[in-house]
Amino acid sequence: MSRSAHPAGPRHADVLPEGHYSAPPADLNRLDPKVWARTVGRNDEGQATVGGLSVTELAEEFGTPAYFLDEADFRARCRAWADAFGQEADVFYAGKAFLSRAVVRWLKEEGLNLDVCSAGELSTALSAGMPPERIAYHGNNKSHEEIRRAVEVGVGRIVLDSFQEIARVAHIAESLGKRQRVQIRVTVGVEAHTHEFIATAHEDQKFGIALAGGQAAEAVRRALKLDGLELIGIHSHIGSQIFDMAGFEVSARRVVQLLAEVRDEHGIELPEIDLGGGLGIAYTSDDDPREPHHIAKALNEIVTRECESAGLATPRISVEPGRAIVGPTAFTLYEVGTVKPLEGLRTYVSVDGGMSDNIRTALYDAEYSVALVSRTSEAEPILSRVVGKHCESGDIVVRDAFLPADIAPGDLIAVPATGAYCRSMASNYNHALRPPVVAVRDGEARVIVRRETEEDLLRLDVG
């Protein structure tokens, strides 16, 4: 569905085609702070800058495509989350959004904890010095080896996702002579308003144990009986890219209800609840995400209120934002290779990356914005589709957005808000070499994840 089939303003066709776009922005050169990282601006020559460095210099030094991550913004977002939740709560950054050793060090320095969901993420965290007790281990099918390693190194919590896993973790912990702190992940039966593949609290899906039918209560019963487990709380994650707090409220209410049932049945009050991640960010100027302090206030209020009415002490709350911390901090810089105007339709602008560095558009129909960043332009806005260089017509980075009509090969364009789930979901499709992540701060840029090389590809090909 189009947001506006007939956007106002100059255009290269009388009637624009249906699509996911608003009217062209009044000023195509403006880099809306809503979607761009905090230190992004333009210099006197009209080039976009980040951390004081122009994209033109950055492209020369690091090549394109590349992700540029604003370190000051990342750190500021960590602090905003930590401050909003205060001493009485814990913020776990969800490493799946984007993880590297530099990121782990920033998290450590800014006082955040880390949620990992694989052996690879755990290794990255440990190798950069994250204290194991600040790590939560997730996943719906953790292997025996993964569980063993997590218990051995002493992760702060393992989030149990199934009945089998309750028994498995208990057994492994006991065999190692340990008592593992765990939470049980429940599905609360909330339909979050987001894409089907990133909604996780309805019952018909793979994660967690349903509250419905007494399943979660039974899971608690079993966990409490096992010597290898110290059950510290209940976990719920309702989905991703969510703007509406209503789903979190229902989730918090149902989790607190379970705590009350546990108290009534077992005479114990579980001390913690984790409400997961999933807070949305602005991908386009039309999105209006909540600030961390609003989110913290809303969640604290609902949990406190529900606990008071159930006669429970308020548990310690934790949250797991991934996208909301790293998403807005990075943009992907591309060079335009070809431009193909289709009269009455749109202009296809091909860049030197594509679905291998951003699969989200193809996978979730995600919306992004784009800007010409190597210069400004006063040319009229044309409806454009930014596409990659892969052998696939669904290889779309930005489905519908306006670029200036003089867009040409050699121009640099950038797609903001690509810090989360872009590099972390990047692929080698067509043997593309995954782009580097370059951290920029105070006039200095350094590679934190280097660009892949053909040698990297060939090293794996041992046939």
Stretch that binds ligand LLP, among 65-73, 216-224, 235-243, 445-453 (CB under 6 A): 235-243
Chain positions 350 to 379 lying near ligand LLP, rule: CB under 6 A, are: 360, 364
Residue 401 CA to residue 260 CA, distance in Å, equals 50
Half-sphere exposure of 39 (CA within 13 A, CB side): 24
- Beta-carbon contacts of 226 under 8 Å, excluding residues fewer than 6 positions away, are 166, 167, 170, 174
97 binds ligand LLP (CB under 6 A): yes
Decide: 381 and 402 in contact? Cβ < 8 Å.
Answer: yes
290 binds ligand LLP (CB under 6 A): no
Stretch that binds ligand LLP, among 28-36, 70-78, 224-232, 321-329 (CB under 6 A): 321-329
Decide: 313 and 307 in contact? Cβ < 8 Å.
Answer: yes
Residue in this structure with the two tokens 């702190």, named with its chain if needed: 181
Stretch that binds ligand LLP, among 8-16, 94-102, 335-343, 367-375 (CB under 6 A): 94-102
x-marked contacts with ligand LLP along 42-81 as a string, rule CB under 6 A = ----------------------------------------
Burial class (CB in 10 A: 0-12, 13-18, 19+), 316: middle
CA nearest to 333, candidates 32, 102, 63, 73: 63
91 binds ligand LLP (CB under 6 A): no
Residues in the chain: 463
**How many chain residues interact with ligand LLP (CB under 6 A)?**
23
CA nearest to 134, candidates 178, 104, 174: 104
237 binds ligand LLP (CB under 6 A): yes
x-marked contacts with ligand LLP along 267-286 as a string, rule CB under 6 A = ---------xxxx-------
201 binds ligand LLP (CB under 6 A): no
Decide: 6 and 382 in contact? Cβ < 8 Å.
Answer: no
247 binds ligand LLP (CB under 6 A): no
98 binds ligand LLP (CB under 6 A): no
CA gyration radius, the chain: 23
226 binds ligand LLP (CB under 6 A): no
Residue 288 CA to residue 371 CA, distance in Å, equals 20
**Of the residues 69, 150, 158, 324, which one makes contact with ligand LLP according to CB under 6 A:** 324
Count CB-CB contacts under 10 A for residue 215: 16
Among residues 78, 117, 307, 391, the one annotated as catalytic is: 391
Stretch that binds ligand LLP, among 13-21, 169-177, 225-233, 316-324 (CB under 6 A): 316-324
Decide: 185 and 139 in contact? Cβ < 8 Å.
Answer: no
- Beta-carbon contacts of 177 under 8 Å, excluding residues fewer than 6 positions away, are none
Residue 224 CA to residue 213 CA, distance in Å, equals 19
Stretch that binds ligand LLP, among 7-15, 322-330, 335-343, 390-398 (CB under 6 A): 322-330
Decide: 43 and 30 in contact? Cβ < 8 Å.
Answer: no
Closer to ligand LLP by Cβ: residue 161 or 411? 161
Helix (H) or strand (E) run with residue 115 in it: strand 113-116
Give buried/exposed letters for 144-168 (b at 16+ CB in 10 A, else e): eebbbbbbeeebbbbbbbbeebbbb
Residue type, 207: F
Stretch that binds ligand LLP, among 24-32, 65-73, 236-244, 291-299 (CB under 6 A): 236-244
**Of the residues 71, 90, 115, 161, which one makes contact with ligand LLP according to CB under 6 A:** 115
- The distance of Cα 234 from the centroid of its chain, to the nearest Å, equals 22
Closer to ligand LLP by Cβ: residue 303 or 324? 324
Closer to ligand LLP by Cβ: residue 324 or 349? 324
Please report how close the Cβ of residue 432 comes to ligand LLP at its closest, in angstroms.
18
Closer to ligand LLP by Cβ: residue 255 or 372? 255
What's phi and psi for 458, nearest 5 deg? -70, -25
Chain positions 407 to 446 lying near ligand LLP, rule: CB under 6 A, are: 420-421, 425
Enter the DSSP assignment of 23.
S
Question: Is 307 annotated in the active site?
Answer: no
Please report how close the Cβ of residue 182 comes to ligand LLP at its closest, in angstroms.
14
Please report how close the Cβ of residue 278 comes to ligand LLP at its closest, in angstroms.
4
94 binds ligand LLP (CB under 6 A): yes
184 binds ligand LLP (CB under 6 A): no
**Of the residues 56, 241, 350, 384, which one makes contact with ligand LLP according to CB under 6 A:** 241
198 binds ligand LLP (CB under 6 A): yes
Please report how close the Cβ of residue 426 comes to ligand LLP at its closest, in angstroms.
12
Residue 169 CA to residue 131 CA, distance in Å, equals 21
**Of the residues 34, 77, 323, 385, which one makes contact with ligand LLP according to CB under 6 A:** 323
Burial class (CB in 10 A: 0-12, 13-18, 19+), 178: middle
Interacting residues toward ligand LLP by CB under 6 A: 94, 96-97, 115, 138, 198, 237, 240-241, 276-279, 320-324, 360, 364, 420-421, 425
- Give catalytic residue positions: 391
